[in-house]
Amino acid sequence: MITGRDNLQLLNQHVYQAQAEQEQAGRRLEELHQQLNALRLKTGESYRELARLRLDDLKASQVISRLDETDQVVLTLLEKLMQARINLEEQINASLARQRELEGQRKELERQRDEAGEARQRQLDMTRSRLQETEAYRQQQQRAQEAAAVAQHADEKASGAEKDRGEKGKPYEADPLFMYLWNRRFLTPDYRGGWLSRPLDAWVARLINFQSNRANYYMLQELPRRLREHATKVQQTSQSEVQALQTLEREAAAADGLPALDAKVQDAEARLKQHDADIEAEEARHQKLLEEQAGFNAGTDPLTKQIIDLESAALEKEPLPSLYQKARATPRPEDDVVVAQLQQLQQQQDQIEAEIQSVNNLLQQRQKNLGELEEVRRRYRQSGYDSYNSRFPGDFSLEVLLGQMLGGMQNSDTVWREIGRHQQSRPTGENFGGGDRGLGDLGGGFGGGGGEFKTGGGF
């Protein structure tokens, strides 16, 4: 068997691994964006150099001045962008550290809960063993079982008679002559007939053999009622015997200190539940920070948009776009050197932008994987599958399921259903000394049946 705690540890390992992979991809994106920003600044400088070479002094100074002014704004914005990314990275790292801290605290709370639960289970087993050795408890247990068997048997007989009433009463109820006399209470003290209707009703009764069929139909109606009344009485008796048994159990539980142990278990579980709520809140905060970081990585944040707009506006104005073409058309080697630099810078930017897109796609997939892992772990904890009495069969492999989920073959809902299907819990005796017991818990079932009633006269 695999314990619930073992599988929780496996889930934790996968979550930590996903967080580490995401952090690694985030660092690589940060490096790429810094490289791209540096290339953009170099591109601006190359355009300035080209402007110096190609334009007359006045025109060139105007272009260079415009570029310098733009660069000053861009540099200021880049500084703000870098600081915003640093601040965000610090918040993400602080959130991860807080999650690690909470996970460490949870292990202690798990230990306290499991110790309380195991102590309660040990005492419960001892109390049960002690009770089974007492003659009074064994006799009461036997009486409760016998009363439950009688109640179940009576319930089955009453249910069978009620079923017969519905099925076997149909031929009677489908005959209009029979139901006419039945509803008029014919052959009973309640019958009220006049001097003309009495002989006619008697003639109809003889025609359909009403006297005999009435007796059968009457029994179909009366027997289920009587059997149900009897079943209700014996069920009350059974409940009284069960309550007497539970009284003995409660007294034994109180004598052995089980209520205090129950309180410790409930307190430990409540503290663990509150702690899990704190973990979930921190995980939600972490996800929001990652979403904000994804905006920086994709270049959709306000600062990056402003920088790109400024650079584009500066570089796209005349005469800068024509400088590139004009330089290639002149024999001056200085122009060609700058053009070659621009070509190389553009190629480098294209390569970095392509890698940024690739890493960003990978980061989004890893963020999705992390979210699904945390969702499975959240459900696992909320369901108490990590408790001391939780276990899984030996052939169940959570490792395989998680691998399939991370590979895109299954989602978190499918994995969770498989976990729930295989999870097992050792009996803890939570209803010992209290609660309701079903009749099926104390006695076996008995078959039941009833007689068959038939009408005559062509029904």
Over residues 251-266, the mean pLDDT reads 91
Percent of the chain with pLDDT over 90: 28
Whether 264 and 413 share a structural domain: yes
Q: Is 458 a domain residue?
A: no
Higher pLDDT, 254 or 334: 254
Candidate from 64-78, 182-196, 312-326, 398-412 with smallest mean pLDDT: 312-326
With a cut of 50, say whether residue 201 has pLDDT above it.
yes
Structural domains in the chain (count): 2
Whether 435 and 377 share a structural domain: yes
Whether 123 and 203 share a structural domain: no
Whether 69 and 140 share a structural domain: no
**Per-chain mean pLDDT for the chain:** 82
Q: What pLDDT score does 428 carry?
A: 60
Whether 411 and 269 share a structural domain: yes
With a cut of 50, say whether residue 451 has pLDDT above it.
no
Query: CA neighbours within 13 Å on the CB side: how many for 363?
Result: 25
Domain boundary among 255, 272, 288: 255
Whether 284 and 431 share a structural domain: yes
Q: Is 314 a domain residue?
A: yes
Whether 123 and 53 share a structural domain: yes
Q: What pLDDT score does 419 carry?
A: 92
b/e per residue, 41-66, with b = 16+ CB within 10 A?
ebbbebbbbbbebbbeeeebeebbeb
With a cut of 90, say whether residue 278 has pLDDT above it.
yes
Whether 54 and 116 share a structural domain: yes
Higher pLDDT, 56 or 374: 374
Neighbours of 203 (CB within 10 A): 9
With a cut of 80, say whether residue 328 has pLDDT above it.
no
* pTM passes above 0.85: no
Q: What pLDDT score does 326 carry?
A: 58
Higher pLDDT, 63 or 426: 426
CB 290 within 8 A of CB 92: yes
What range defines the domain where residue 93 resides? 2-129+258-440
Candidate from 63-72, 149-158, 198-207, 435-444 with smallest mean pLDDT: 435-444
Q: Is 167 a domain residue?
A: yes
Over residues 333-348, the mean pLDDT reads 78
Q: Please write the tens of the pLDDT for every residue from 145-177.
A: 999 999 999 999 999 998 988 888 899 999 999
